[in-house]
Amino acid sequence: MITFFAALLLLFAGYALYSKVVQKVFGVDDSRLTPAYTKTDGMDYVPMSWWRGWLIQLLNIAGLGPIFGAVAGALYGPVAFIWIVLGSIFAGGVHDYFSGMLSLKHGGAQFPTIVGKYLGTFAKKAVSVVSIVLMLLVAAAFTAGPAQLIASITPLSFIAALIAIFVYFLLAAILPINKIIGKVYPIFGAILIVMAISIAVALLFGGKSIPNLTLANLHPGDLPIWPLLMVTISCGAISGFHSTQSPIVSRTMKKETEGRKIFYGAMIGEGVIALIWAAAGMTFFGGTNGLQAALAAGGPAGVVNDISTSLLGTFGGVLAILGVIILPITTGDTALRSARMMATESLSKWVNPDKKVILISVTLALGLPVFLLSTIDYAFLWRYVGGSNQLVATIMLWTAVSYLLKEGKAHYIAGIPALFMTGVVSTYVSYAPEGFGLDYKVSLLIGLLITLTVATMYVRQIIRHKSIATKRILVNS
């Protein structure tokens, strides 16, 4: 129990203290007009209040990610608390802040454009493909579950439920942001927050003791903590998906100082939600063995339903149903919207992305593979979402490093988590079945060698930029 409270306090302290450090390093100026005013178009560039932007950002990045991922990560035991806290404060918060603020700095630019600005044209082209594929995978992965649940509690068939969801997806992707997303997301955000707080209160006063910190690996399947925990709990620690969502809100901000509240603040909010559900997962079923049995029997949706209905009764059951239906959909709709924004931005050299026929055509073209992917095995989809998600997160952090190096600012705040995530991704790709499926020790060695190679390149860039800065000083003097 003490560990849980300490973790909560650390997350809040991280926002109160470290987010200000990150903001100071980036540098903000409220006298500069934001893209919401300089590019107002009534579609994506629409000024909105910071609290509405925060709720939209929270729903964009969260959905069921910090619930399902945290429950699965709870299989490793209380060590998951460490990753959620440190990941949210020093990696996820930095990642989300820079992805949002660099988008703001460059007129609301999409993630691939930002990458191209700081890592080069080849990186932009590669990331454009990876990012759009990630958006389609996420949209598909977060659609099948709700459709199955709708089919089980209504007369609609699974296909009919899918069609209904995709009609909403298409509308949310092509209508102005303040018409659907800006109006319904605050309500959905309230459901997500109330759900988490209710579970936390029930846990604390329900007579169950949340386990305290141990560094031991309690996973019943004896799966290694490194790097699997860092991929299992992505939403709630650091997630590359967030960098594709931040431009949606950056185009609605009224002033630059709102970025700390919206981007870093939403990441900490997601970390709190993940912490609560990780605690619930490892507590409610009497340990990680019980949790594994529950996951095997009903999957993450079944675990969430069991915890909610048992701790909160009928109210909890309603929240669980609303959560499992609504929250994934709120991730899927903005994933498709982001894919549409990326695709139209890439096509802007050849076609006018403001024309409705182009807008609708691109959205339909992207929606079709999402619809088809949502009909295949969910577990298969989710495995590929995890790896590509953390790859995108690593690229975003290195983009932030490049920006900070060029500006002569404290690049280490992004460089250290970037190196960490490089190790996570390279080891994971080597070890995971959906990667190369190599022996664990071999994968560790490969991950170490790749990380050391990247670290060497990083040091060379530091020396190079210091040399450039020194020459500028000599010339100016």
Give the global pTM.
0.90
Q: Of 181, 364, 382, 208, which is closest to residue 280 (Cα–Cα)?
A: 208
Q: How far apart are the first and last CA of the chain?
A: 60
The upper half-sphere exposure of residue 328, i.e. CA atoms within 13 Å in the direction of its Cβ, equals 29
Distance separating alpha carbons of residues 101 and 117, to the nearest angstrom: 14
Q: Look at residues 13, 37, 35 and name the one whose alpha carbon lies nearest to residue 247.
A: 35
- Using CB atoms within 10 A of its CB, is residue 181 exposed (0-12), middle (13-18) or buried (19+)? buried
Q: Report CA 447 to chain centroid distance, whole Å.
A: 23
Extents of the domains making up the chain: 2-393
What's residue 353's pLDDT?
Answer: 56
Q: What is the CA radius of gyration of the chain?
A: 22
In sequence order, what DSSP letters do the residues of 301-333 get, joined into one string? HHHHHHHHHHHHHHHHHHHHHHHHHHHHHHHHH
Q: How many residues does the chain have?
A: 477
CATH of domain 2-393: 1.20.1740.10
Per-residue pLDDT of the chain in tens (477 residues, 90 and over written 9): 799 999 999 999 999 999 999 999 999 999 999 999 999 988 889 999 999 899 889 988 876 778 888 999 999 999 999 999 999 999 999 999 999 999 999 999 989 899 999 999 888 888 888 887 877 777 777 777 778 777 877 888 888 988 888 888 778 877 887 777 777 777 887 888 888 888 898 888 877 788 888 888 999 988 999 999 999 999 899 999 899 889 999 999 999 999 999 999 999 999 999 999 999 999 999 999 999 999 998 888 788 888 888 888 888 778 777 777 777 787 788 777 887 777 777 766 665 555 554 555 556 666 677 777 777 666 666 667 778 889 999 999 999 999 999 999 999 999 999 999 999 999 999 999 888 999 999 999 999 999 999 999 999 999 998 888 777 766 666
